[in-house]
Structure 1
Amino acid sequence: MTPRPPRQPLAARAVPCALAAALLCLSLAHAADPAASASGPTVSHTLSEVAAHLAVPPDDAKPMMRWWWFGPAVAKPELQREIAAMKAGGFGGFEIQPVYPMELDDPARGIRNVPYLSPEFLDALGFANRTGRANGLRVDMTLASGWPYGGPHIGVTQAAARLRMASVALPAGSSAFAPPLLMSGEKLVATFVGDGSDARGLDTTKLKPAAPAAARNGRGAIAAAPRDRVLVFYIASRTGQQVKRAALGAEGFVMDHLNRGVVEHHLRTVAEPLLKAFGDQPPYAVFSDSLEVYQTDWTDDFLDEFRKRRGYDLTPYLPVIFSGQGPDAGGARHDWALTQTELVNERYLTPVDDWAKAHGTRFRSQTYGEPAVSMSSNRLVALPEGEGPQFREFSFTRLATSAGHLYGRPVISAESWTWLHSPAFSATPLDMKAEADRMLLQGVNLFVGHGWPYTPPGAVEPGYSFYAAAVFNDHNPWWNVMPDVTGYLARMSYLMRQGEPANEVAVFLPNDDVYAALVPGKVSLSAEMHRHVTPELTAQILDAGQNLDYVDAESVLALGVKHPVLVLPHVTRLAPEVLAKLQDYVRGGGRIVAVGTKPSLAPGLRDAAQVGKRVAAAAGALFASKNVQLVADDGAVGAALRKVLAPDLQLSNDAADIGFVRRKLKDADIYFVANTGNRPLKASAGFRSKRAVASWIDPDSGKVTQADNAPVLDLAPYESRVIVFSDAPLPATAPAPRLAPARLVADLGRDWTLAFPDGAKPAAVQQLHSWTDDAATRYFSGEAVYTREVTLDAAQLQGQRLVLDFGQGTPLASTPKVPAGMRAMLDSPVREAAQVIVNGRRAGAVWRPPYAVDVTPYLAPGRNRIEVRVANLGLNALAGHALPDYRLLSARYGERFKPQDTQLIAPQPSGMLGPVRLMGEKRL
């Protein structure tokens, strides 16, 4: 659930150019270091190489699971069982994350919470690593318990720091005042005096540094003139933030991520013991969740580091940093926030990544949040990871994928399904696909599921759940189709890491503008970037038939701009060096679409007037080029793009719910296309690829069939397709089937037999309905079996394809009121997933539209037995009994979690709801 490069000062900043160039070279060398890159399969560059793995994608493309160890209270037999279950479900590995206790110690049930980093815990960790590897699974490890990094080893002077302001009104006639009382971990940084009555409404541009007065009672005092009526103190303090969701024995302060000594202390105290538990088989990667170090904006030597980097003393500008008043506030805030980015890059990201490499592993990090890391900070970690499915607006996920595309990280993961369909046990396989497809459209090619809760034997079903997440373990009733779901995810992940990324529009992230607007207590580029990269801007680019990456000043300086078109969204602050790079880009044929304004301001404060003149002059020269368009607002971006760049995907009608992403091979272009909406969409599609041969790749099997070069996209709700344009056909390509419209062969909507696993006599079901309508099965969660027979003659089997069709599902009009996350807005006709068995052979699975299974190879003349094994949600069983009372648990350990949205727990419709029809499609 968190964010890196030493962003070196530009000419407007007080660091010699030679040093900046040297550091830039070092950062590029770091980016090119093979040890820092994501390992995995060699990226294929020809279609024949790719095709060799379509039927069975490599194991390292399989999704992973975040494995929560509650307590930690784990036992080796259950660890072994759950690892085997992960492998059987089609997962490629797991990330171990110890979190809060779920139950009190109970010897009778074998539940014993052991302290984090205790010998018992480390022994279990080593066992899980050996067992996972023996099963061919990847094993990752979080370098802490909970998030962000911290714990009992972090003292108050090592805790995350902030600068706080305090003010006091001076009594009338007072000529001196005692300094404020400071608490542990605090230090008075500066004191100012003014003539206001208090800090509210005070013109901070008129505050003056306070002078010391004569000592009073052994304590220093602050002098005040008769007109001075307010004292304002700036105090280096601590946020007080505690580690979130900590395991037993891992409680404590969140560490100061801007202090390298503290970071190294954490690595020695926590990371080293963890790695020793892995023995001679280190984890594939070590993990840092999203940076959620709330309110941090300081560190002990911040003023000294600021002076070195920016070339002036920050102290006189502290009042305007807090107030935002006066002409200097934007520049000073920019420099203050930029310094924090440089410090977290140099003192947190770089040391942890270096440590990981030195220990034979890789650093996987979610590079966003606070402190204010940038998109290019991802260059400092081996494995960038995103989070969030927001593909039509500013996205934390696209920060990671863009950095991966720019800095040569071919495998880019995402924490997935974090808030999927709340409350826990409500998520469906279709929900998984709906979010996963939005991740794929942003460039993700490895899923880290959130997640898998360890559940001890004997726990009441449906077992444990994390307080804010879906559940994807084998306690989930629809586990019966999990191999089908993971097979799809693995195949698409594999395809989306082949060749090279091919997005043709870059959106410039105006970090300098965002820095200038940040305020104490909330210093985050990612949290505020949406003000520039708006949903409308993103939609304009996507609806113009393009996909996009982000770039920023750091990447432009280091790498230039490789995309044919660059969009500048409301950029006012930009360094002359960046404008020079953009001028080179335009001279080389690049196109720029600028929104709203031309850059006119220096990024920072030092020499701002002089640098601003250079910025304005450089921008004027740049915008005089015929290759640069200036449009008034975000709504004009799409039309401007169409003038300079042909759509990569042109649809015959307005179908904003269809998204695409392209990968480019030496001899082929691979397009992943997805309907992200809950209604069927049909449109003629024109792809810009000029390669001669078009083929479909079936996302579920990898089978290749012929396609038209200008195909019709006929997509069911949330359906996805893969189309490839190549120089030559693949040998295994099957001819495209030509079929007549489907006609009814048999109506199977009635007269089924339904059996539950309780051993009761199967019941006759004359008309299909939800089994929650019946009191006896209202709270049943699990798999129930529908059976019936259908008689067919030989003529019905010849010359046609026979499909068991379960219906289209019901689109939902609006999103239910839940606090966060997403879900598929479609109620399935089969709640929630099913396996179809025909004459004793598995014909397929039903878990996403189109809800149909080809049963042609399994039918025979005469009587045919059809069996549909339907699994519903674990939520129904959860609704059937009172929820756990965590009062005693909280009394023992403190309230470390609160299950979300429990008011929404209620039985959901379950079973095969109909209609069910056997449809025939005549072969032409």
Structure 2
Amino acid sequence: MKRTLALLLLASLTAQAQAPKWPAITQQAKPWTRWWWQGSAVNRADLTRLLTEYDKAGLGGLEITAIYGVKGAESQFIDFLSPKWMDMLTHTLTEAGRLGLGIDVAQASGWPFGGPWVTPADASKYVAYKTYEVKGGAGLAEPVAFMQKPIANAVGHKVDLKQLADPVAANKNLQALALDQVRFEKPLPLQALIAYSDQGATEDLTAKVDAKGKLAWTAPAGATWTLYALFQGGHGKQVERAGPGGEGDVIDHLSKPATEHYLAHFDKAFVGHNVKPIRAFFNDSYEVDDAQGEANWTPQLFAEFGRRRGYDLRQHLPALFGKASADENQRVLTDYRETVSELLLENYTQTWGAWAKTHDALIRNQAHGSPANILDLYAATDIPETEGENLTRIKFASSAAHVAGKPLTSAETATWENDHFLSKLSDVKKAVDRMLLGGVNHVFYHGTAYSPAAAKWPGWLFYAAVEFNPQNPFWTDFGKLNQYTARCQSFLQAGQPSNDVLLYLPQSDAYTRPGKVLLQHFDGIDHGFKGLPVEATSELLLAKGYGYDFISDKQVLDVKNAGAALATSGGARYQTLLVPDAHLMPLLTLEQLLRLATNGATILFQNQTPADVPGLGNLENRRVNFQKLLAQFKFKDSQGGVRQATVGKGRVLLGPDVDQLLAKAGVRRETLVDNGLQFIRRGRAGGHTYFLANWGDQPVAAWVPLATAAKSAALYNPMTEQNGLAAVRATAQGTPEVYVQLAPGETCLLDTNEAAATGPGYPYHTLAAAPQPLAAPWDLSFLMGGPELPAKQQVRDLASWTTLAGEAGQKFSGTAAYTTTFAMPEGPADGWLLNLGRVAQSARVQLNGQLVATLLGPVYQVYLPKYQLKPTNTLTVTVSNLMANRIEDLDRSHVDWKVFYNINMAAKLKENRGADGLFTAEKWAPQESGLLGPVTLTPASVGAPAQ
């Protein structure tokens, strides 16, 4: 097949041509890190010293989170938000500003929001219920009462509830107690007593119960009555990982007064201090209901439910607790969950966001885990933040940002890579890449513990598995990862999202599913939507290369027509909206979809149109109107099993096959995924930016098709920093293809242009012959680390330094240099590909005294152009390993380095847990370390790829 070829060759370029330029690296483009202030035991000198270290390493900013303290440092503890704590914060803000670092602040010491100033009235609550049977003509002999069962749970030990004072904040030594949940045995206040007869009658008896629980009521004759008594309890959830002065009850997130009272405490603490440099306040996920029971109640719930749902919940308490008909149970439960979702959005998230604006600050929020539509919570957040390893989960935060027009999506990144001290920079890079592919463009490492200069190695640490601290040997090469991330994010923070499909999130189908508890918590597809058709559909879209964003019912109402396209409230444009086999849909949503279609849009229904409306209020009227709307879809058979209904200027498509639906709608997938690549795409004036990743175990060197128009493209390698105009050609169909070379684990940025461009070409490498071993002896010198530096030696056969350097090498964590000399290889090559083989774990390569590359893996190779070589060359490879071997030595020697309050170094993997249940490396064998080889040189030519 004849193809039009438009190759941009290196040899044909003029000397005056300018290379493509990297975007400027801003504070925001650099990665940030969570900065743990353990016990808030900080001082000015160490704050300045560490901020300087972080700046040198290429971090852009820090999020201060005050948490539990370190044993032995009690005299240095500073109470959260105390005047001294505020002085330390002010010093940090001043020094960070001097260094050009940004600062966010967590809005609690630990998480979720809570503390000693949270009163019982403002603390999280739950509902308990009890039923009584009364025959007609009889009364209720027993009192209407509920005694709360006591709970006293702590982290890492048992606690005697009898030894605790009420309220919890009144107790001493809360750091050592490390309380997780406390409920005292006490009678609970009655919220409602409703009688239901077997004849369908209902009576509200709440006012007929006296202070002792005595009911003054005789059941009407002729029926048997079931009485439902609801009581309000204190959930008892305590702030997790709280530091001094931050311990106490978690707030009632459903109550606006509780949120306002909580935030007013910060206003009081801020008086007299300049907090304007704080960029954003942060919330570390919901995590209220990871204790016993759930925070499923607020004092105003009955009133709010009636106002929002249009009927009195007290008339349907049996249905709320699953004791009515299946249909009524589901409808009332859905309405209850919808009400809770709205209260969490309005009374917590939006109230918090409005408060932050009074301090000229943003809010950064992890909405996942909430008993709510988390798309709406994320959309109400200035910087939505996600975490995890599943791309569909990550996309909830980025989808909300894209739909709502938020420029940044952040991510708690690399929380648990492997287990403690086993996390390689290549692991972290893959975690970063995963976030970028999911739409994140503002990475936060998790995390960096403040550690004073006086602390013995390994210093102060956090219990999650990756320690982004200067005492970690990988800090030597950490700056390269930060530079890489900044290069990527400098592109991905620019332009606009460029996804084609809005994927409707069937929240009502999720709400209607009963569970063991009243609430349902949402954390991406896997938690809340597992087993619903949207799960498979979202994974299919990813696998097939369709760019999409999730959208909620609330967000759908703000979508506008833009010709045949759809424009969201944030200005993003999409070709279509896909409803993934939803059974239930709110009437307002269906009305909006019909309106959009009537005005020119294409709306897709997978498998079926929704059959019914959710909820109970005004049900029959809503059902009638719903069916009238559906009746306007006059579907007719079309090609490929897709049925089509013309509606006004637009159309509605129906069919079981998502591929066929999207093809009929004119949506093109990015078939580059068939080459084993993963991608995310952003748009800009005149072109697009692609971030491509090769996660396979084989290199990719191929012509890659694009689904967007392009006559030219600039190619950027964010790790090597090479760039140039890519080879671009048009297929017979007129679609563009770009030549891409990516090693396993490698990524690139492709900046396309709909117009032609001239400039230096990208330096593609073609291997010209077989690899040649670099077998000269190596001088091995240990540069820095501990517990001691092994002796220098000459090495003929590369192997782990745990073997080469004996017992000292087995214990050593740090950095060593391998130096050798070699003659310039013979042959006509443009240069040589230096491959280090296996490396444990990161390496810096110097040739003739000049740094040529920092290699993080999984492939350790760098191209050496011929002009850099001399007749005789000196090659130095400086390798850093992990903390593991030195930690192993400490544990074997029973050195107590785990000196932390609260959670004291929990292990991710059960094989790494000792008899006390805590992490131990005592049984580990020494981890391979150093340059393992084989090291080879392969002749290579540079130029445009063959057609």
Shorter-chain TM-score range: 0.7 to 0.9
Q: Which residue of 2 aligns with 1:35?
A: none
Q: Which residue of 1 aligns with 2:468?
A: 472
Q: Which residue of 1 aligns with 2:127?
A: 163
Query: Does residue 781 of the first structure (1) align with residue 792 of the second (2)?
Result: no
Q: Which residue of 1 aligns with 2:263?
A: 267
- Show CA shifts across 1:529-555 (max 9, x none): 344365532232123321110111111
Contact 1:97-1:146 within 8 A present in 2 as well: yes
Contact 2:345-2:376 within 8 A present in 1 as well: no
Query: Does residue 722 of the first structure (1) align with residue 722 of the second (2)?
Result: no
Query: Does residue 283 of the first structure (1) align with residue 283 of the second (2)?
Result: no
Query: Does residue 708 of the first structure (1) align with residue 728 of the second (2)?
Result: yes
Q: Which residue of 2 aligns with 1:64?
A: 32
Paired residue secondary structure (1:618): helix
Counterpart-to-counterpart distance in 1, 2:939 and 2:884: 37
Counterpart-to-counterpart distance in 2, 1:245 and 1:578: 41
Counterpart-to-counterpart distance in 2, 1:515 and 1:579: 18
- Show CA shifts across 1:463-488 (max 9, x none): 33211241112111111222211111
- Specify the code of the residue in structure 1 equivalent to 2:280: A
Q: Which residue of 2 aligns with 1:378?
A: 378
What is the CA distance between 1:258 and its match in structure 2?
1.4
Match among 427, 435, 446 for residue 431 of structure 2:
435
Q: Which residue of 2 aligns with 1:356?
A: 356
Q: Map 1:140-151 to 2 at 5 A.
A: 140-151=104-115
Change (3 A) 1:898 1:521: farther
Counterpart-to-counterpart distance in 2, 1:276 and 1:214: 49
Counterpart-to-counterpart distance in 2, 1:216 and 1:923: 90
What is the CA distance between 1:623 and its match in structure 2?
6.6
- Specify the code of the residue in structure 2 equivalent to 1:431: D
Change (3 A) 1:81 1:126: same
Segments of 5+ residues of structure 2 without an aligned counterpart are: 1-17, 149-185, 561-565, 568-573, 636-643, 646-650, 730-736, 914-919
Q: Map 1:535-554 to 2 at 5 A.
A: 535-554=535-554
Q: Which residue of 1 aligns with 2:797?
A: 767
Counterpart-to-counterpart distance in 2, 1:641 and 1:856: 47
Contact 2:124-2:252 within 8 A present in 1 as well: yes
Segments of 5+ residues of structure 1 without an aligned counterpart are: 1-49, 196-203, 808-828
Query: Does residue 591 of the first structure (1) align with residue 616 of the second (2)?
Result: no
Pairwise CA RMSD: 3.1
What is the CA distance between 1:495 and its match in structure 2?
0.6
Query: Does residue 400 of the first structure (1) align with residue 397 of the second (2)?
Result: yes
Q: Map 1:114-129 to 2 at 5 A.
A: 114-129=78-93
Match among 144, 151, 157 for residue 179 of structure 1:
144
What is the CA distance between 1:277 and its match in structure 2?
7.1
Paired residue secondary structure (1:114): coil
- Show CA shifts across 1:426-453 (max 9, x none): 2111112212112112211111111111
Q: Map 1:311-460 to 2 at 5 A.
A: 311-323=310-322, 325-326=324-325, 327-391=327-391, 394-395=392-393, 397-421=394-418, 423-460=419-456
- Specify the code of the residue in structure 1 equivalent to 2:33: M
Change (3 A) 1:399 1:359: same
Query: Does residue 694 of the first structure (1) align with residue 713 of the second (2)?
Result: yes
- Show CA shifts across 1:761-805 (max 9, x none): 422222222223343311211101111111226x55x65122211
Match among 903, 920, 924 for residue 939 of structure 2:
920
Query: Does residue 753 of the first structure (1) align with residue 750 of the second (2)?
Result: no
Q: Which residue of 1 aligns with 2:632?
A: 621
Counterpart-to-counterpart distance in 2, 1:706 and 1:440: 22
Counterpart-to-counterpart distance in 2, 1:272 and 1:165: 39
Counterpart-to-counterpart distance in 2, 1:166 and 1:57: 61
Q: Which residue of 1 aligns with 2:694?
A: 675
Change (3 A) 1:492 1:623: farther
Counterpart-to-counterpart distance in 2, 1:742 and 1:70: 56
- Show CA shifts across 1:867-913 (max 9, x none): 111001112211111277699965xxx66874544437434221111
Change (3 A) 1:806 1:830: same
Paired residue secondary structure (1:424): coil
Change (3 A) 1:602 1:684: same
- Specify the code of the residue in structure 1 equivalent to 2:145: P
Contact 1:602-1:609 within 8 A present in 2 as well: no
Q: Which residue of 2 aligns with 1:253?
A: 249
Match among 806, 825, 828 for residue 836 of structure 2:
806
Q: Which residue of 2 aligns with 1:818?
A: none
Higher mean displacement: 175-184 or 355-364 = 175-184
Counterpart-to-counterpart distance in 2, 1:428 and 1:146: 27
Match among 190, 193, 207 for residue 191 of structure 1:
193
Change (3 A) 1:509 1:702: farther
What is the CA distance between 1:256 and its match in structure 2?
0.6
Higher mean displacement: 370-379 or 498-507 = 370-379
Q: Taking structure 2 as the reference length, what is the TM-score of the superposition?
A: 0.81
Higher mean displacement: 589-598 or 86-95 = 589-598
What is the CA distance between 1:830 and its match in structure 2?
0.9
- Specify the code of the residue in structure 1 equivalent to 2:236: G
Change (3 A) 1:839 1:372: same
Paired residue secondary structure (1:837): strand
Counterpart-to-counterpart distance in 1, 2:773 and 2:208: 98
Query: Does residue 81 of the first structure (1) align with residue 49 of the second (2)?
Result: yes
Paired residue secondary structure (1:258): coil
Change (3 A) 1:164 1:707: farther
What is the CA distance between 1:679 and its match in structure 2?
4.4
Q: Map 1:34-45 to 2 at 5 A.
A: none
Paired residue secondary structure (2:612): coil
Paired residue secondary structure (1:128): helix
Counterpart-to-counterpart distance in 2, 1:216 and 1:746: 93
Q: Which residue of 2 aligns with 1:792?
A: 824
- Show CA shifts across 1:31-80 (max 9, x none): xxxxxxxxxxxxxxxxxxx9986164222210101000001211222211
Q: Which residue of 2 aligns with 1:221?
A: 215
Contact 2:39-2:77 within 8 A present in 1 as well: yes
Match among 483, 491, 495 for residue 495 of structure 1:
491
Paired residue secondary structure (1:688): coil
What is the CA distance between 1:577 and its match in structure 2?
2.5
Change (3 A) 1:908 1:481: same
Aligned length: 826
Paired residue secondary structure (2:421): coil
Paired residue secondary structure (2:585): coil
What is the CA distance between 1:290 and its match in structure 2?
1.1
Match among 865, 873, 878 for residue 869 of structure 1:
878
Contact 1:57-1:491 within 8 A present in 2 as well: yes
Counterpart-to-counterpart distance in 1, 2:208 and 2:752: 83
Q: Which residue of 1 aligns with 2:890?
A: 881
- Show CA shifts across 1:713-763 (max 9, x none): 4432222122222134556x3224465424346412562222223555422
What is the CA distance between 1:85 and its match in structure 2?
1.0
Change (3 A) 1:530 1:645: farther
Q: Taking structure 1 as the reference length, what is the TM-score of the superposition?
A: 0.83
Contact 1:54-1:702 within 8 A present in 2 as well: no
Change (3 A) 1:51 1:404: farther
Q: Which residue of 2 aligns with 1:637?
A: 658
Query: Does residue 131 of the first structure (1) align with residue 95 of the second (2)?
Result: yes
Counterpart-to-counterpart distance in 2, 1:746 and 1:874: 34
Paired residue secondary structure (2:484): helix
Q: Which residue of 1 aligns with 2:303?
A: 304
What is the CA distance between 1:835 and its match in structure 2?
0.5
What is the CA distance between 1:381 and its match in structure 2?
2.5
What is the CA distance between 1:378 and its match in structure 2?
2.9
Change (3 A) 1:216 1:590: closer
Contact 2:423-2:465 within 8 A present in 1 as well: no
What is the CA distance between 1:528 and its match in structure 2?
0.6
Contact 1:324-1:330 within 8 A present in 2 as well: no
